[in-house]
Amino acid sequence: MVIRLLICDDQALVRGGLRMMLDAQDDLEVVAEAGDGREALAFAAEVRPDVVLMDIRMPGMDGIEATRRLLDQAGPPRILVLTTFDEDEYVYAALRAGASGFMLKSAPPAELVRAVRVVHDGQALLSPEVTRHLIEEYLRRPPQKTEGFPELSEREVDVLRQIALGDSNQRIAERLFISEATVKSHINKIFTKLDLRDRVHAVICAYERGLVTPRG
């Protein structure tokens, strides 16, 4: 199966470099390039990409608004945000808009290729380096809600806490002395009860509702 990609970045050299890197993979194909969010929406409607690599700061419609609008459509693509550390606040907004993950533009080619595949497979990309930096710098704020998670069972709260701390399913199973299959079952129930898209959304929800705190 070939994963169809749309690259959205206002710099032609960046788009060209990404295309060359991604098209070199047998299972990846760049089907369109866009210079801003409006072009991305138009191309997405035309070529129906599986994954969009989205820059954030662009003239006209930025990547945050484009992400929001793309995900409002039926059968939307997965969104992988490309960023630099000086754009963390924008990254947080993009994740809240529904992006499935984010990667540094300076990441090695192999990491970017892996990120595309991970996001396409329906997983959220929680790179420990970038995620922990983002959490510590931009979620250091009072929780928006303090009622906890009355929707969840005690065990489901335990699992959500470990997700928010960045643990894999295997690590959660080890910590809570349960099987990975049970972890997956709990995660599915958590996502359904809280109407969450993926693990990124779960992390944001856990921090905003005070279940975990930075460095906590």
Please give the angle made by the CA atoms of 88, 125 and 108, to the nearest 5 degrees: 80
Residue 19: which of 104, 95, 116 has the closest Cα? 116
Residue 22 lies in a domain: yes
* pTM for the predicted model, two decimal places: 0.72
Residue 148 lies in a domain: no
CATH number, domain of 75, equals 3.40.50.2300
If one counts the domains in the chain, the total is: 2
Residue 101 lies in a domain: yes
Provide the pLDDT confidence category of residue 148 given band limits of 50, 70 and 90: confident
Q: Per-residue pLDDT tens for 84-94?
A: 755 556 767 77
Classified as helix, coil or strand, 4 is: strand
More confident residue, 28 or 169: 28
For the cut 70, the answer to whether the pLDDT of residue 135 exceeds it is no
Q: Average the pLDDT over 136-153 and give the result.
A: 70
49 and 102 inside one domain: yes
CATH number, domain of 204, equals 1.10.10.10
Provide the pLDDT confidence category of residue 188 given band limits of 50, 70 and 90: very high
129 and 48 inside one domain: yes
Provide the pLDDT confidence category of residue 102 given band limits of 50, 70 and 90: confident
**Cα–Cα separations (whole angstroms), residue 91 to 19, 83, 85, 181:** 22, 7, 9, 32
105 and 26 inside one domain: yes
Residue 102 lies in a domain: yes
The domain in which residue 73 lies consists of 3-138
Rg (CA), the chain: 17
119 and 183 inside one domain: no
Q: Per-residue pLDDT tens for 152-180?
A: 999 999 999 998 887 888 999 999 999 99
Residue 94 lies in a domain: yes
Domain final position from 107, 138, 169: 138
Domain final position from 138, 163, 187: 138
